[in-house]
Amino acid sequence: MIKTYGYTDNTQLSPHFNAQEFRCKCGKAHDFQIDDDLITKLEALYAALNCSKIIVTSGFRCAAHDKSVGGSGTGQHTLGKAADTCCYGQDGQPISSKTVCCKAQDIGFGGIANITAAYIYTHVDVRSGSKWYGDEVHGNSSVTDDFYKYFGGEDMKGIDVSVHNDKIDWQKVKAAGIDFAVLRAGYGKLAKQKDDRFEENYAGAKAAGIPVGAYWYSYAMDEDEARQEADVFLSVIQGKQFEFPVYFDLEEKKQFDLGKEKVSAIMRAFLERVEAAGYFVGLYSSASSLMTHTADDIKSRYTIWLAHWVDKTNYTGAYGIWQHSEKGSVDGINGNVDLDIGYKDFPTIIKAKGLNGWGKEEVLPNPPAPVAEDGISVEVTVDGQKYSGKLNKA
């Protein structure tokens, strides 16, 4: 049952929730609605998670306020059926939205979604009819019918670094929980433009057991220059192994001034050249340039490293890594550092394909049969073919 409450009503709705927590945050003194079923399920969520508290960051919304925060003006919040929450454990720390989503699914909320990249805030509602299980960092569409499967693998925390980050203590970076790093190899079309700390960063990350990728910053103004940059990039990364893709980074204004067709041609020239050399390649780009200056065939063929420094991106295309902040802080690095989230198991994919320096194991097309001399008789099967003989005596 949906009930209406006055703006100053402080009715205790249940052991852990008061009506005041759900009133509209538009700043105007008006009535608001709350569905009894929402409170019942929130109490069940509180118990299931063994919470110390649940903070309701947004409850009822009037139509105007709902639109002002990006809603439709007719959604579940306007019906008194929804709450955006932050759930805290007994240790006083926020509980991951991944855990909250799974428990909310068990309890039977009709609408559930992670809200931000930090995986701290969770939307829940008691809608009827079709369910909505979303992850708003990837848009507003339903992403799964089972959060246990969807969140079965933890997202990877990453950084990207260059000479501008000075000397890095990679052991501290590893201890801080960083799962991967993308290293700038250099920029431009000259060998002397190799990043001054690339070798040091590569060796340090590898020694700390941190998987790495690499990127090349572009100034190319046409396809020929892009191929020259690709050749220098290949010479710099030759002989090394990368568990993550190697990326082309194009972001200069003078390049975008060339227009979408020419920019896309530059991208293709670089990416095709590096890919042909045996690398798993990708494109680093902002959300805006992906939408305005990147041809669809590039976005569908190559993995995307999205740069969008917001809590929740509105970019709806596919991407494997999201650079969500340029002002992060990680132990072992002085000053700000770019922060990334990885969504794909690139190490497994790349190694299985034998790319980025990870050559596939050589398989002999016709394995030799065991030497048949006096000794113990044996029979072995290799690639479906049987070989028999006797083991040599020592």
Q: How many Cβ atoms from other residues are within 10 Å of residue 5's Cβ?
A: 19
The dihedrals phi and psi of 41, each to the nearest 5 degrees, come to -75, -30
Q: What are the percentages of helix, strand and coil residues in the chain, rounded to 5? A: 30, 25, 40
238-258 pLDDT per residue, tens: 999 999 999 999 999 999 999
What is the pTM assigned to this prediction?
0.58
Q: Domain segments of the chain: what residues?
A: 2-150, 156-353, 364-394
Q: What is the pLDDT of residue 28?
A: 95
Q: What is the pLDDT of residue 154?
A: 58
Q: What is the pLDDT of residue 373?
A: 37
Q: Is it the case that residue 386 has pLDDT exceeding 80? A: no
Does 2-150 match 156-353 in CATH topology? no
Distance between CA atoms of residues 101 and 136, nearest Å: 12
Q: Is it the case that residue 230 has pLDDT exceeding 50? A: yes
Q: What is the pLDDT of residue 7?
A: 96
DSSP label of 74: S
Average pLDDT (175-200) is 96
Q: Is it the case that residue 363 has pLDDT exceeding 60? A: no
pLDDT band at 360 (very low <50, low <70, confident <90, very high): low
Average pLDDT (99-114) is 93
Q: What is the pLDDT of residue 151?
A: 81
The H-or-E segment that residue 234 falls in is helix 223-237
Burial of 269 (0-12, 13-18, 19+ CB in 10 A): buried
- Of all residues in the chain, what percent carry a pLDDT higher than 90? 74
pLDDT band at 313 (very low <50, low <70, confident <90, very high): confident
Average pLDDT (386-390) is 46
Q: What is the pLDDT of residue 118?
A: 85
Q: What is the pLDDT of residue 152?
A: 64
* Contact assessment for residue 189 and residue 228, using Cβ atoms and an 8 Å cutoff: yes
- Of all residues in the chain, what percent carry a pLDDT higher than 70? 90
Burial of 348 (0-12, 13-18, 19+ CB in 10 A): exposed
Residues contacting 85, CB < 8 A, separation 6+: 42, 54, 55, 56, 57, 100, 121, 122, 123, 124
27-49 pLDDT per residue, tens: 999 999 999 999 999 999 999 88
Q: Is it the case that residue 76 has pLDDT exceeding 70? A: yes
In the CATH hierarchy, which fold is given to the domain comprising 2-150?
Answer: Muramoyl-pentapeptide Carboxypeptidase; domain 2 (3.30.1380)
Lowest-pLDDT range of 177-181, 240-244, 254-258, 311-315: 311-315
pLDDT band at 364 (very low <50, low <70, confident <90, very high): very low
Lowest-pLDDT range of 58-62, 123-127, 142-146: 142-146
Q: What is the pLDDT of residue 275?
A: 98
Q: What is the pLDDT of residue 374?
A: 41
The dihedrals phi and psi of 266, each to the nearest 5 degrees, come to -65, -45
* Contact assessment for residue 304 and residue 326, using Cβ atoms and an 8 Å cutoff: no
Q: Is it the case that residue 393 has pLDDT exceeding 50? A: no
pLDDT band at 146 (very low <50, low <70, confident <90, very high): confident
The dihedrals phi and psi of 32, each to the nearest 5 degrees, come to -145, 160
Q: Report the CATH architecture of 156-353.
A: Alpha-Beta Barrel (3.20)
Distance between CA atoms of residues 83 and 54, nearest Å: 11
Distance between CA atoms of residues 107 and 102, nearest Å: 9
Average pLDDT (16-34) is 97
Distance between CA atoms of residues 352 and 279, nearest Å: 12
The dihedrals phi and psi of 387, each to the nearest 5 degrees, come to -130, 140
The chain-wide mean pLDDT, for the chain, equals 89
Q: How many Cβ atoms from other residues are within 10 Å of residue 200's Cβ?
A: 15
Q: How many Cβ atoms from other residues are within 10 Å of residue 333's Cβ?
A: 21
Q: Is it the case that residue 348 has pLDDT exceeding 90? A: no
Which of 124, 127, 126 shows the shortest CA–CA distance to 103? Answer: 124
Q: Is it the case that residue 279 has pLDDT exceeding 90? A: yes
Q: Is it the case that residue 384 has pLDDT exceeding 70? A: no
Q: What is the pLDDT of residue 391?
A: 40
Give the DSSP per-residue string, 133-145.
EEEGGG-SSB--S
